[in-house]
Amino acid sequence: MSSSFSWMIGGPQGSGLNVSAEILARSLSRAGYYIFGQIEYHSNIKGKHSAYRLRVSDVPVHSHVEAVHLLSALDEETLVGDLYHEFPAHRGHVHEIAPGGAILYDAEQRKFAEWIERDDILLWEMPYAELLERALAEAGKPGQARAYRIMTNTLALGASVAVLGFDFEPVAQAIRESFGMKAGKVAQLNVNAAKYAYEYASERFAKDMKYKLPVAPARREQILVKGTQAVGLAKIQAGCGLQTYYPISPATDESVYLENYQGDYNLLVLQTEDEVAAIDAAVMGAHGGVRSSTSTSGPGFSLMPEGLGFAAITEAPGPVVLLYQRGGPSTGLPTRQEQGDLLFALNAGQGDIPRMVLAPGDIQESFYDTFDAFNYADRYQVPVIVLVDKHLASCYQTLPVFDTSKLKIDRGLIYQPAQGSPNGDYLRHAFTENGISPRAIPGTPNGIFWTTTDEHDPRGHITEGIGNRIQMMQKRMNKLQLAAREIPDEKKFCLFGPKSAQKKTPVLIVAWGSTKGAVLDALDRADPQRQNYSFLQLRMMRPFPTEQVTQLLQGAAKVISFDGNYSGQIATLIRAETGFNIHHQVVKFDGRPFSEDEIIVAIEKAVADGAERLIVSEGQVVPPEYGLEQFNKMLELRKKRPKMLAPMVPLPPGYNK
């Protein structure tokens, strides 16, 4: 039986909690543990609340669980919420602690710890200021603890490591590595501070910790990677030569990651003045013979549909568009999770636009699907949209090293002029049997061509002739049928569980995108032998595998869909493509990803009660009035508590000089 440990660190944005979490993740990963990390952060730069949780396991894990075994609180908001607001947004994380779990908190938050009304958890006070002063005095900087408050995250890390029962030295090494070129006195100061906190917590608290890390599995070769990094690595592997973007959360991290490596590869990362310029520059790069891509989020993609049409009608080999979904509409929830852009990605733009839409379900698929997207763009000469989301972008996971041995670059059909052919013979948009016209890369001898966003003839000149229009539309749109025939089923969908054609599947779960991980973990827990449940993960949304999916749906006694949006867009797509009505739709639209626990309770509720629509949030199935109930409860809690001030954000020494 597998086991896992759930740890969380919370504090104000800008306090370095993500650094501490990722140092711990690297240390545990090197010891052989499987890690799944997930961060929730506010859309402002500094001050608002953020929380980072790690799930540490002896088997691969793909999602988070609701219960937290150890919480490390860097501020009072982590304990009691943001009650200083007129309309508080959250109540902290104490309610998430598993019975018998523990909280490490700063002595400066003592009065807020006294507000906690649970007697089934352990509250451990840490004198971070005193311990930091000891480390500073040792470094010849006495009396400066207040100026170095930014180091509280390092102290919290040391205390957490002690309570986990993990060796300190691997963590110390990871701390030193995190400072890079600054790995000198500053790095050692942080190591010393963490060590003091480690020793303090070891002596006083570690022996009382009920929950323990599982026994580490045998070490193996693995990487610890984020979704944005996996996408960036795939683009490099695919030979992407032009990456365009306009800064927008959560897509920007991918482009910033690529900027760090563009000097090492034949790659230009171009920050444009807006998203219109980003998509148009990528289209022109594709026409110029360079593998091109742009990355954006929902609001930015809203400015790109005309560019998609530009790419499609001119039969550009791409671009590849990475669409990082986030909470909408409009600015919405800039740094929160949602799968709300599926139908938009399928239908954005005026007229009938041939485009391919892929939806990887995890970090590993994000790597391979992004690589494939460039081959599809070149081969079928269409824009390719890769739908990822905030959760995939920012989660941090241990994975086997990506296998690139079978990845082959396919540049599609390239025009090769016949010996002695005169300039002017080449027809860029020539009618062909399969709809794909050889494309010429600028500089190809006798490869001069015209193209335009008006309807055009085979030479690329504008025309409004009826026969030409009919043939050109069929030429462009039939590329999707060609792709559907050529691309193997395993790249379109995945089926987990019984595959017997003789009897009906009792329950078929249907999901897409990052919900995959939570479903897999839930079924491992609820139905490890896969006797009662199967899981259909949809991975290619256009061209849609209609025939295969229809057979699977009709072969199930009960079908339950999971969708990270309000309207149940995957059920809408399935109905449009197959005519099948999903029996039970489970939706989540609170700005957070599905947890393993939410999948389980939703399945149990759907099977037991037969409700057609279920809403989940905070680990449970909730009624439609849940939102208002929680809103009012927060107001009552604010009235009940003494007046609370907004937490201070720790700044580096000399920040204001």
Q: How many C-beta atoms lie closer than 10 Å to residue 616's C-beta?
A: 24
pLDDT of the residue at 247: 97
pLDDT averaged over 10-residue windows placed end to end, the chain, 657 residues: 87 93 98 97 86 97 98 96 93 97 97 95 98 95 91 97 97 93 83 98 97 95 98 98 97 98 96 98 98 98 98 98 97 97 97 98 98 98 98 98 97 87 86 95 91 97 98 98 98 88 85 98 92 95 98 96 98 98 98 98 93 97 97 95 76 55
Cα separation, 310 vs 539, whole angstroms:
26
β-strands 584-587, 556-563: how paired?
parallel
pLDDT of the residue at 624: 96
Strands, sheet with 396-399, edge to edge from the N-terminal-most edge strand: 122-126, 97-106, 68-73, 4-12, 49-57, 34-40, 396-399, 223-226
Contact 328, 341 (CB under 8 A): yes
Beta bridge partners, 615, equal 587, 622
How many degrees, rounded to 5, is the angle at CA 641 between CA 636 and CA 646? 105
Contact 348, 403 (CB under 8 A): no
Q: DSSP strand E in 408-552: where?
A: 493-496, 505-512, 533-538, 540-542
Cα separation, 657 vs 655, whole angstroms:
6
Q: Could you tell me the CA-to-CA distances from 542 to 170, 380, 487, 562, 645 in Å, in that order?
A: 46, 13, 11, 19, 51
Structure tokens at 638: 């604010």
Alpha-helical runs (H) found in 381-511: 390-394, 466-486
Beta bridge partners, 389, equal 325
By the 10 Å C-beta count (0-12 exposed, 13-18 middle, 19+ buried), 185 is classed as exposed
pLDDT of the residue at 462: 98
pLDDT of the residue at 653: 64
Q: Could you tell me the CA-to-CA distances from 82 to 91, 95, 559 in Å, in that order?
A: 7, 15, 40
Contact 437, 459 (CB under 8 A): no
Structure tokens at 284: 């022109």
Structure tokens at 35: 């890690």
Cα separation, 75 vs 49, whole angstroms:
9
Q: Could you tell me the CA-to-CA distances from 92 to 9, 80, 88, 263 in Å, in that order?
A: 12, 5, 10, 44
Cα separation, 134 vs 198, whole angstroms:
13
pLDDT of the residue at 657: 43
Contact 586, 561 (CB under 8 A): yes
Cα separation, 78 vs 55, whole angstroms:
19
Cα separation, 621 vs 608, whole angstroms:
13
Cα separation, 63 vs 505, whole angstroms:
25
Supply the pTM of this predicted model: 0.96
User: How many CA atoms within 13 Å lie on the side-chain side of 291?
Assistant: 26
Structure tokens at 443: 């500089």
Instruction: Report the chain's C-alpha Rg in angstroms.
Output: 27
Residue with tokens 């949030």: 617
Taken in order of first residue, the domains within the chain and their CATH numbers are 4-208 (3.40.920.10), 224-399 (3.40.50.970), 413-487 (no CATH), 492-622 (3.40.50.920)
